Amino acid sequence: MELKNVNIKGIPTAEFNDNEYLENYIKELEANGVNVVLSKIDELINWGRSNSVWPLIYATSCCGIEFMATAAAHHDIARFGMEVTRNSPRQADLMIVAGTMVHKMAPLIKRVYDQMAEPKYVVAMGACAISGGPFINSYHVVPGVDQIIPVDVYIPGCPPRPESLFYGLMQLQRKIKVEQFLGNKQR
Amino acid sequence: MRIDQRNKKTFDIYNIMENIKKLILNTVPTAVIEEKQKLTVTVTFDKLHLLAKTLKENAALPFDFLVKLIGVDRGEELGVNYLLCSSTDLSKELVLKTGTTDRENPLLYSITDLFETAQYNEREVFALLGIRFINNPDMRKFFLNADWVGYPLRKDYDANPELNPLSLESVDMIDIAPRITENEKGELVEDTVNIFGEDDYIINIGPQHPSTHGVMHFRTALDGEIVKKIDVHSGYIHRGIEKLSESLTYPQILHFTDRLDYLSANINRHGLCMAVEKAAEIEVPERAQYIRTIMDELNRIDSHLLAWACQTNDLGATTAFIYGMREREIILDIFEKTCGGRLIINQNVVGGVMFDIYNEFQKDVKSFIIYMRDKLKEYDRFFSHNVIALGRMVTIGVLSKEDAINYAVTGPAGRGSGWSCDIRKHIPYALYDKVDFKEIIRTEGDSYARYLNRLDEIEESLHIIEQLIDNVPEGDICAKVKPIIRLPEGEYYSRVEACRGEFGVFIESRGDKFPYRLKFRSPSMALVSAMPLICQNEKVSDFIGIGGSMDYVIPDIDR
């Protein structure tokens, strides 16, 4: 998978070419055989999907405030087509889990995730959502949201800066861009 | 002349406290009075209610503000510490202690009928320590699910994850509350009470709802559009910070305070640092005090701006939200240049501050002050007198002064109800006794008073910073502190004015490098406990607006 020059300050283009797991993913898809016409339609769909990801903010603590800062004018998430934050899971493509997950909340996040329509993605934002963070030894904390729901992108930080969030969301966009919804014979 | 006055004042305080001691001994002759950091009174559990009532009704100096209710596992006995103070003078403090040696079925008497704020606190103590309170009308566990095995804050708690496995099954909400009451004959009766009526129409607001300002769950009974009753469920972000702290050293605990009320991160941290410094008798260098005070006030402006932005957003003004966040970003830039953090800034450490201010700090802050004053006028012009905004704030969600004290609602909300409760004025810490600032008090008690209070407090904070910014003395920024701090045996309290009200720290040390018990007083818990009261008979859409005006932060409540 070749990427054109990516123009992001502080992130060299070479980093974007470290694509081992995506390449494996593509190989797996190609092994199943792809129709030429449908794969072009796929590209169109992926272009649209990756540039208008509508997030549902599952914010439980501090990371939620950093998301608010990200969504506000200074950092402006609208540049990535993600400004339409949906509060209903049925209208959202992406769930951003921002904050600690505890035992009492676990059934509820599962329920909200189940209510989202396919295709759906999950971003674990911050140390708590990744692994429990500073509270990992607690009796009431779930060590990472991936114990409950599958996670696509992990964004480290406590809380991650808006720039890190953007980087993580761009990684998600890359993942969406190589997906095949029509061309895959297995479907 | 001045010295005479000061002596007279000390003498007065001495006299008042002597009178209180006499009053206590007259009421309960068996009470044990000790002079520790605070005046500590230990009584048996059956006398506590009587003593609290007498102190509350004492005309000369009523102890009618329950600051903290702390459940402690003292080893052989399970007990509760009550920090009381007078609502007219917050510096007059008194600690009541009681306990029971029955660990199988510990029972104490509730003081909910005297202090409404005790209700949630007692439920918290039941969830974490298993002490049940006689005459509390609602004895459900507050943070944990009803089927949680064990009581985490007990020293013999079994943390085996197999006892409480992670469950993904949704549980039904229980609207039947067990309670234990004492009838006229002195017998204990256990029964249950229904929270809602049979025909009530109940909607769930939260836990995942963008307008509850976090993961709070309000079960709301509606009559058409009018709120009849609210039942608060909490614990969706209960991380067990107090239990975790018991196995960490004091410098390690510091980072938890930032993650309680993350919007007043620096002030919370200041509170814990002060408690440890007071106990270990560490002198903080003057330069550090200046930096701390300036950063605290910047933090306060940051928090009030976000509160303003969210409140206006709750009322439907999205543009105002963008404006508030825009100004906030400038403060975050200053934080970032000082210590690298944006939201959680890790600036305070025991003994001083971690990072010195940078060369152009003064210049940046001064230009921000000018900019912010200009913007405050702009806010006033385009939102504060907007007809729609006024219609949704004036006379909505009225909290009277008596209720504010009874529910222990402090901060801009308490001062909006006419209660002078600013810790910076009553018990000055850091440099607050050296600077000149007004305590903003309004008497209306509605959403609009709370809204205006925040904007005025931004102006006062700017005024405080202005007085300090040019006078930062040269010198050390941190006293020499050992990496592992052992606090002498004792109980230590500290109180600071966070952005939402009074933040308090209680440390019980047994001479170890870890605290034996650490408790944070959450200002937001008091704000939420008042929500059912002030939202009654308001429209359900105004419930969101009132929530915005109270501006609670949920991780602070759940801890």
Using a CB-CB cut-off of 8 Å, the residues of chain B touching A108 are 170, 207-208, 236
Task: Give chain A positions within 8 Å (CB) of B143.
Answer: 104, 140
Contact B555 A61 (CB under 8 A): yes
Per-residue pLDDT of chain B (559 residues; tens, 9 = 90+): 455 555 666 666 677 777 778 877 787 778 778 877 788 888 888 888 888 888 888 877 888 888 888 988 888 888 899 988 888 888 888 888 888 888 888 888 888 888 888 888 988 999 888 888 888 888 888 888 888 888 888 888 887 888 888 888 887 777 888 888 888 887 888 888 888 888 888 888 878 776 667 788 888 898 888 998 898 888 888 888 888 888 888 888 888 888 888 888 889 999 999 888 888 888 888 888 899 899 999 999 999 999 998 888 888 888 888 898 888 999 998 998 888 888 888 888 888 888 888 888 889 999 999 999 999 998 888 888 888 888 888 888 888 988 898 898 998 988 988 888 888 888 888 888 888 888 888 888 888 999 999 999 999 999 999 888 888 888 888 888 888 888 888 888 888 988 888 898 999 888 888 889 889 988 888 899 998 999 888 888 888 888 888 888 888 888 8
Task: Find the mean pLDDT for residues A140-156.
Answer: 89
Q: Is B473 helix (H, G, I), strand (E, B) or coil?
A: coil
Is B426 domain-assigned? yes
In a domain, B109, yes or no: yes
- Measure the CA–CA gap between B355 and B338, rounded to whole angstroms: 7
Residue B337, chain A, CB below 8 Å: the answer is no
Distances (CA, A) of B291 to B286, B335, B473: 9, 12, 10
In-domain check, residue B166: no
Rounded-to-integer distance, Cα B535 and Cα A132, Å: 35
Nearest partner of B346 among B292, B447, B411, B265, judged by Cα: B265
H or E element: which one contains B79? Answer: strand B78-85
For residue A180, the one-letter residue type is Q
Tell me the backbone φ, ψ of residue B315, rounded to 5 degrees.
-90, 5
Q: Is the pLDDT of residue A185 over 60?
A: no
Measured distance CA(B84)–CA(B94) in Å, rounded? 5
CA distances from B67 to B53, B269, B453, B525 (A): 15, 19, 22, 12
Domain-ending residue, one of B97, B125, B153: B125
Residue B420 CB burial class (10 angstroms; 0-12, 13-18, ≥19): middle
Q: What single letter denotes the amino acid at residue B245?
A: S
Cis peptide bond prior to B412, omega within 30° of 0: no
What crossing angle do the helices spanning A162-177 and A36-51 adopt, rounded to 10°? 160
Collapsing DSSP to helix, strand or coil, B78 comes out as strand
- CB-nearest partner of B145 from A104, A135, A161: A104
Cis before B178? omega within 30: no
Cβ within 8 Å, pair B166-A103:
yes
CATH number at residue B530: 1.10.645.10
Q: Given B82, B100, B125, which residue is the final one in a domain? A: B125
Instruction: Tell me what pLDDT residue B45 has.
Output: 83
B162 in a structural domain: no
Q: How far apart are CA B550 and CA B453, in angstroms?
A: 11
- Alpha-carbon distance B479 to B473, whole Å? 15
Q: Which domain holds residue B120?
A: 2-125
Helix (H, G, I), strand (E, B) or coil at B140: coil
Q: Which of A59, A60, A72 sits opposite B326 (nearest CB)?
A: A72
Q: Is the pLDDT of residue A186 over 50?
A: no
For residue A5, what are the contacts with CB-CB under 8 A and spacing of at least 6? Answer: A13
Which residues of A have a CB under 8 Å from any CB of B? 57-62, 64-66, 68-69, 72-74, 85, 87, 99-100, 102-112, 134-135, 137-142, 147-148, 158-159, 161
HEC sequence for B344-376: CCCCEECCEECCCCCCCHHHHHHHHHHHHHHHH
Query: What pLDDT shows up at residue B367?
Result: 92
| pLDDT score, position A5 | 64
Alpha-carbon distance A115 to nearest alpha carbon in chain B (angstroms): 13
B 219-278 residues with CB below 8 A of A? 235-241, 243-244, 247, 255-256, 259, 262-263
* Long-range contacts of the stretch B425-429 (C-beta < 8 A, 24+): B426/B89, B426/B90, B426/B91, B427/B90, B427/B91, B427/B495, B429/B274, B429/B494, B429/B496
Q: Is residue B475 part of a domain?
A: yes
Look at B239 and A58 and tell me if their CB atoms are within 8 Å: no
**What is the C-alpha radius of gyration for chain B, rounded to an integer number of angstroms?**
23
**In angstroms, rounded to a whole number, what is the distance separating the alpha carbons of residues B413 and B498?**
12
Q: Is B190 helix (H, G, I), strand (E, B) or coil?
A: strand
Instruction: Give contacts of B 57-116 with A, CB under 8 A.
Output: none
Show the tokens assigned to A154.
Answer: 């992990």
Asked if the Cβ–Cβ distance from A138 to B167 is below 8 Å, we say no
CB B374 within 8 A of CB B323: no
Determine, yes or no, domain membership for B221.
no
Cβ contacts of B63 within 8 Å, gap of 6 or more: B52, B55, B56, B84, B85, B86, B92, B94
Pairing of strands B217-223, B201-205: antiparallel
- Per-residue pLDDT tens digits for A21-79: 777 877 776 776 666 666 677 778 888 888 888 888 888 888 888 888 888 888 888 88
Instruction: Report whether B230 contacts B218 (CB < 8 A).
Output: yes
Size of interface A-B (CB pairs under 8 A): 125
Check whether the bond before A162 is cis (ω within 30° of 0).
Answer: no
How far apart are alpha carbons B219 and B365 in whole angstroms?
44
Number of structural domains, chain B?
A: 2
**Strand partners of residue B490:** B509
Is residue B62 a contact partner of residue B88, using CB atoms and an 8 Å limit?
yes
C-beta atoms of A74 and B263 within 8 A: no
Q: Best residue in A60, A66, A70, A141 to probe B by mutation, most B CBs within 10 Å?
A: A60
- Asked whether B326 and A73 are in contact (CB, 8 A), the reply is yes
The verdict on residue B195 lying in a domain is no
Nearest to B437 by CA among B416, B459, B408: B459
Alpha carbon of A163 to those of A10, B123, B324, B419: distances in Å?
11, 41, 20, 43
For an interface test with B, the pick among A66, A67, A102 (most B C-beta atoms closer than 10 Å) comes out as A102
**How far does chain B reach from its first CA to its final CA, in angstroms?**
48
Residue A21 phi, psi (nearest 5): -75, -30
Rounded Cα gap, residues B288 and B474, in angstroms: 10
- Domain ranges for chain A: 52-173
At A187, is the pLDDT very low, low, confident or very high (cuts 50, 70, 90)?
A: very low
B208 within a domain of the structure (yes/no): no
Q: Are strands B176-182 and B132-134 parallel, antiparallel or unpaired?
A: unpaired
Could you tell me the two tokens for B432? 């607050």
Q: Which residues in B371-426 belong to E strands, given as ranges?
A: none
Cα separation, B304 vs B298, in Å, equals: 10
* Token pair for B356: 């010195």
Nearest in space to B158 (alpha carbons), one of B167, B166, B148: B148
Whether chain A has a CB inside 8 Å of the CB on B326: the answer is yes
Residue at which a domain ends, from B94, B125, B156: B125
Q: Is B540 on the interface with A (CB under 8 A)?
A: no
Architecture of domain A52-173: 3-Layer(aba) Sandwich (3.40)
β-pair partners for B180 = B190
C-alpha to C-alpha distances, B441 to B407, B415, B421, nearest whole angstrom: 18, 5, 9
Looking at residue B369, its pLDDT comes to 92
**Strand B39-42 to B93-100 pairing:** parallel
Contact: A139, B240; criterion CB under 8 Å:
yes
SS (H, E, C) B302-313: HHHHHHHHHHHH
Per-residue model confidence (pLDDT) at position B180: 85
Cα angle value B65/B66/B71 (rounded, 5°): 170
Q: Which residue in this structure is represented by tokens 């001083």? A: B352
Interface test with B, best of A95, A96, A104 (most B CBs within 10 A): A104
Q: Which two tokens stand for residue B362?
A: 């003064």
B120 φ, ψ to 5°? -70, -35
Amino acid in position B405: I
Q: What CATH number is attached to the domain comprising B29?
A: 3.30.460.80
Supply B281's token pair: 């008798």
Q: What number is the ipTM of this complex? A: 0.83
